[in-house]
Amino acid sequence: MRAIFKISMLCFALLCLSILPTQAAGPIIIDHNHTGISRIPQSAIEQARANLHIAYGHTSHGSQLTDGMTGLVDFANGGGLGLSLPADIFEWNNGGTGGALDLHDYAMGGDVGYYPQWVNNTRAYLDNPANADVNVIIWSWCGQASGYTEQQMIDRYLAPMAQLEQEYPQVTFVYMTGHADGSGETGNLHLRNQQIRNHCLTSDKVLYDFYDIECYDPDGNYYGDKLVSDGCDYDSDGNGSRDANWATEWQDSHTRGVDWYSCGSAHSQPLNANRKAYAAWWLWARIGGWDGPGTPSVPATNVSILAPAMLILTGAAYFSLKKMKS
């Protein structure tokens, strides 16, 4: 009987492992390539809402994500971009009331450019028993990344993030690049953002590439080499002066409520916040277990199916053992 029990337990363990959702190894990089909100399956959105408890620290620029996410609710409900999903599926609030995504906005004071305050504020937040369920921490920059040296970026951001990851292994820490500042591809910000990007790629981190999203319009046109600013202004004729705006140009040639939606967008245009929101939901879906297009999230398995499966496995183990003895 002990042999049967051991074989049954082994079979049961293998069964459980086979039904667990898996997530691809390697970094998760969310950039302008991940702004197609209609490509995220409903199952991935629902899984993120069910599993994630997010704390977000930011100042004005960072509000583009959450303001965009707020506007997305009604936009999606109205069928914008051809979306046909359950009502309020993109709803979010602090606490996850009503099945919404649990996102504590302004959870920690300041932004990630205030060192060491952001590190201390993170520890204080996570050490508070009231926040024991939080499993995602995300901070955004204001403009400080533009003035950091390579070593300062390590000392004030990359190294502290790595330390926090060690101290709180149950939490996913999301890295972020700094917003566009008009300095272009030769500017210090471009170098510092690439430094963050390289670190995330080589160390298998999670990155929300705020800057990259600001460098592209929805049609894939690139403005990073045109002195693009956080307001989406750019130099259209190469004379060194920003004289056009990719966001307003795109908005003016498309239909509001169908192709884009009006929403708050600090220092910028609504379309920028739209795309920040789309990318944010890609981020939540990926952290929640979705591996990307073509790989819908694995829903939680109903425990009731395990009982008959266990009986079948136990019976098979019994007859196998009996045959071995005969």
Q: Is the pLDDT of residue 66 over 50?
A: yes
pLDDT band at 294 (very low <50, low <70, confident <90, very high): confident
Q: Is the pLDDT of residue 70 over 80?
A: yes
- Could you tell me if 75 and 124 are in contact, meaning their C-beta atoms sit under 8 angstroms apart? no
Interatomic CA distance for residues 196 and 146, integer angstroms = 12
Does residue 6 sit within a domain? no
Does residue 73 sit within a domain? yes
Does residue 229 sit within a domain? yes
Q: What is the pLDDT of residues 234-250, one digit of tens each?
A: 999 999 999 999 999 99
Omega prior to 116 cis, within 30 of 0: yes
Q: What is the pLDDT of residues 181-237, one digit of tens each?
A: 999 999 999 999 999 999 999 999 999 999 999 999 999 999 999 999 999 999 999
Please give the residue that has the higher pLDDT: either 108 or 318: 108
CATH number, residue 160 = 3.40.50.1110
Does residue 250 sit within a domain? yes
- Could you tell me if 118 and 159 are in contact, meaning their C-beta atoms sit under 8 angstroms apart? no
List C-alpha distances in Å: 90 to 46, 99, 191, 207, 287: 9, 10, 34, 21, 16
- Could you tell me if 138 and 54 are in contact, meaning their C-beta atoms sit under 8 angstroms apart? yes
Provide the domain limits for residue 170: 26-325
What's the per-residue H, E or C state across 149-185?
A: CHHHHHHHHHHHHHHHHHHCCCCEEEEECCCCECCHH
> How are beta strands 136-139 and 92-93 bridged, if at all?
unpaired
Q: Is the pLDDT of residue 5 over 60?
A: no
Does residue 150 sit within a domain? yes
Does residue 262 sit within a domain? yes
Q: Report, as an integer, the average pLDDT of 146-155.
A: 99
Q: Which of 178, 179, 182, 169 is nearest to 196 (CA)?
A: 178
Q: For 26-30, 32-36, 55-59, 321-325, which range has the lowest pLDDT when averaged over its residues?
A: 321-325
For the chain, the domain total comes to 1
Does residue 11 sit within a domain? no
Does residue 313 sit within a domain? yes
Angle, helices 2-19 vs 306-325, to 10°: value is 140
Alpha helix stretches (DSSP H) within the chain? 2-19, 42-51, 63-77, 117-127, 150-153, 159-167, 188-203, 210-214, 246-252, 270-287, 306-325
Q: Is the pLDDT of residue 314 over 70?
A: no
CA–centroid distance for 190 within its chain: 22
SS3 content of the chain, % helix, strand, coil (to 5): 50, 10, 40
